[in-house]
Amino acid sequence: MGYRSKTLGIFAFMIVFFILVGYLIGQFFMGDWILGSIMFLGIAGLFNAVAYFYSHKFILKAYRAKVVDENEAPRLYNIVKQVAFEADIKMPKVAVMPMSIPNAFATGRNEDNAVVAATEGLLSRLNDEELKGVIAHEVAHIKNRDMLVMSVAATLAGAIAFMARMAWFQLFFGRRRGNPILLVALILAPIGAIIIKMTISRKREYYADEQGARISKNPNALADALEKLHSENKRNPIRKGNPTTASLFIVNPFKTGGFVNLFSTHPPMEERVKRLREMAADFSYL
């Protein structure tokens, strides 16, 4: 399924989902399911429009990513420029996140507004070849047009997860307990995970690894980088942030286990590294 089909699928899912929520709330709280459905249909349309046009901006702001130029981050900027040239795509914007944990992601609707964001920790912990491999992975996502699907899915899943928390708060601390909003709360939380898992296939990460290795011409450097990132992020995960955005990062930056695993979209690191090592042993990838 192409990126346009998947994006439209997410939007269609959101519309149907919010109509269902509107029906339930309208039926049980407003006494008019038609009014509730129309109201939440409007909310779905608003969410979809905002997610399509502004999801990448929200994500950059959430992680305090600052767009930089060549003078501000010459090493990172020049590597992104080199990789973009080798991948035959437009030069994306470059951003730096003020985080000590090494990680990176790409976002944006298309090549015209694509952004490659790297943490300060990534720049300090990787050598040039390893950094080039990571950037090549992110550029592969841009080239494959994965960013729109990933950014929209993460934004909408985050909105649904927020609604779920509000519903649970109302259930346990509101005056009217035991009401039908429990039904809404029960289905909202896992829906965020379902959206991510339905749209962000693990195959995307494998393919971005493979294509990134071909672009950088150094599978071992990317494998080494992934091992470093996996170890660092596992030992010191992000404390603040939304797990629904985990799919954007090259390595899951959040603590694994429990509810967070519902949102896990990354393949096992051992398998990713194994595939890259096998590429390195096979010179035909060049």
pLDDT tens for each residue of 171-180: 566 555 555 5
pLDDT at 76 over 80: yes
**In angstroms, what CA-CA distances link 41 with 20, 21, 25, 141, 186?**
9, 9, 13, 32, 20
Better-predicted residue by pLDDT, 2 or 74: 74
Asked if pLDDT for residue 269 goes beyond 60, the answer is: yes
Query: Around Cβ 164, how many Cβ atoms within 10 Å?
Result: 19
Domains and CATH numbers, the chain: 60-146+201-285 (3.30.2010.10)
Confidence of residue 58 (pLDDT cuts 50, 70, 90): confident
pLDDT for residue 198 is more than 60: no
More confident residue, 206 or 157: 206
When pLDDT is cut at 50, 70 and 90, the band that residue 6 belongs to is low
Catalytic position from the list 72, 86, 120, 138: 138
Instruction: Indicate the average pLDDT of the chain.
Output: 80
Active site residue 138: yes
Residues 115-173: tens digit of each pLDDT? 999 999 999 999 999 999 999 999 999 998 887 676 666 666 666 666 666 656 655 66
Q: Tell me which DSSP letter residue 268 carries.
A: P
Provide the b/e sequence for 70-106 (b: ≥16 CB within 10 Å): eeebeebbebbebbbeebebeebbbbbbebebbbbbb
**Global pTM?**
0.75
CA angle, residues 11, 204, 195, in degrees to nearest 5: 30
pLDDT for 160 equals: 67
